[in-house]
Amino acid sequence: MEESNQVTFSCLANDFVPNIFEFKWLKNGKVVKNASLEFTTPSTAVSSDDGTRFSAASFLTLPKETLVDDTRMTCEFSLQRGAKKQQVESVLEYRTRECSTQEGFDMKIIPPSWEDLLLKRNGEVRCEVTFPKASLVSREVNLSWRDEKMGVLMTPTDPGAQINGKRIILPLDITFEEWNSGVRRTCLLDHGELLEPLKRVYERKDVVKSLKPPSIFMLPPLKQTREGVVTLTCYIKDFYPKELYVSWLIDDKDATHDFRTTGSMEANGAFEAYSRLSVPLSEWDVPERAYSCLVHHESVEQNKSYVRSITQNSPQQTTMVNLNMRISDRCKAQ
């Protein structure tokens, strides 16, 4: 299974006893020793007329650049039977695929919003799975959110799970503290119509050890007389890491007008962003009305934010030099 710059191999073992086993991966005959590249699911017990039998799976993820065509990958499965160890292996040769063997199935992870994580300190990460046809969808589907030890956190039978036609959605709660510490959450689908289980991982890629608070400037307002609006711009610069959320207040109340914040753009080892609020020209002409830009960033204490304000009578000059403007393709409506 190929995901952007990574390739994931899976190895399934079914109907074995006793429940004492081990998976081992080899690349061109050499053991893959980096444990962070692989994980093994807990065994699942299935009762039958012959007694209880077990199933388990192991996954190995490798950077695509470490693989070439005809790379020989081996999965060894060892089963302890008393004093004897029984071992079987499965071998395949890696080939670059031009088509997907998961045709008709799609899994994507929707991360929590920065408003939820940085402002509310609680959010949800969603696993959305689309099936080829609605008849394959049910609450008994083997779909789950799992933790670092592959313990089950949520399934379609739990409260909050949603089924809509050909789609199942699992929204999993996550706190700021969990996200900030780099917890790993895996969405895993094992289905009879799949050649191999489908999985996606959600985690903070880099746990930040040093924080840099932003510098914030309110730029001079831009009057657009023809459109009858005034655009206020909040320039946020020199912050690290890149995640932030911007909100606006009008006289200490949440702004009801549209505002947009760019994605964070890298500049000189830190990041910068812009947030723009558009207000009717008639409203801007009201004397002493204050417009405030609130920046929420993990460098500030919980329940606090960085604030810059402007009024109609504020000085209309902002001193800055060497401004390096870049266009971000991640502009989004807040």
pLDDT, tens digit, 9 for 90 and up, residues 26-44? 999 999 887 567 777 667 7
pLDDT for residue 35: 59
pLDDT for residue 322: 28
Let me know: does 77 contact 11? Beta carbons within 8 Å: yes
pLDDT for residue 102: 62
pLDDT for residue 222: 84
| Class of CATH domain 106-202 | mainly beta
77: closest CA among 149, 3, 20, 6?
Answer: 20
- Of 111-120, 187-196, 258-267, 281-290, give the lowest mean pLDDT range: 258-267
pLDDT, tens digit, 9 for 90 and up, residues 236-245? 989 999 999 9
Segment (H or E) for 284: helix 281-284
Q: Does domain 2-94 have CATH number 3.30.390.30?
A: no
pLDDT for residue 104: 84
CA-to-CA distance for 9 and 25, rounded, in angstroms? 10
Q: Where are the domains of the chain?
A: 2-94, 106-202, 215-333
198: closest CA among 105, 90, 75, 125?
Answer: 105
pLDDT (average), residues 203-231: 85
Sequential DSSP letters for 20-69: -EEEEEEETTEE---GGGEEEPPPEEEEETTEEEEEEEEEEEEEGGG--T
Say if residue 22's pLDDT is above 70. yes
pLDDT for residue 36: 61
Segment (H or E) for 220: strand 215-224
Q: What is the average pLDDT score of the chain?
A: 83
pLDDT for residue 94: 82
> From its phi and psi, is residue 269 left (phi > 0), alpha (psi between -120 and 50) or beta?
left
pLDDT, tens digit, 9 for 90 and up, residues 55-98? 777 778 888 888 887 889 999 999 887 767 788 888 888 876 43
Architecture category of domain 215-333 in CATH: Sandwich (2.60)
Q: What's the pLDDT band for 325 if we cut at 50, 70, 90?
A: very low
Judge if 106-202 and 215-333 fold alike in CATH terms.
Answer: yes
Q: What's the pLDDT band for 320 if we cut at 50, 70, 90?
A: very low
Residue ranges of alpha helices (H) inside 82-183 are 114, 176-181
Q: Which residues pair with 109 in a beta bridge?
A: 127
Tally the C-alpha atoms within 13 A of residue 118's C-alpha that lie toward its C-beta. Answer: 19
pLDDT, tens digit, 9 for 90 and up, residues 140-158? 999 999 999 999 999 999 9
CA distances from 131 to 135, 165, 316 (A): 9, 9, 56
pLDDT for residue 207: 67
pLDDT for residue 315: 57
Let me know: does 107 contact 100? Beta carbons within 8 Å: no
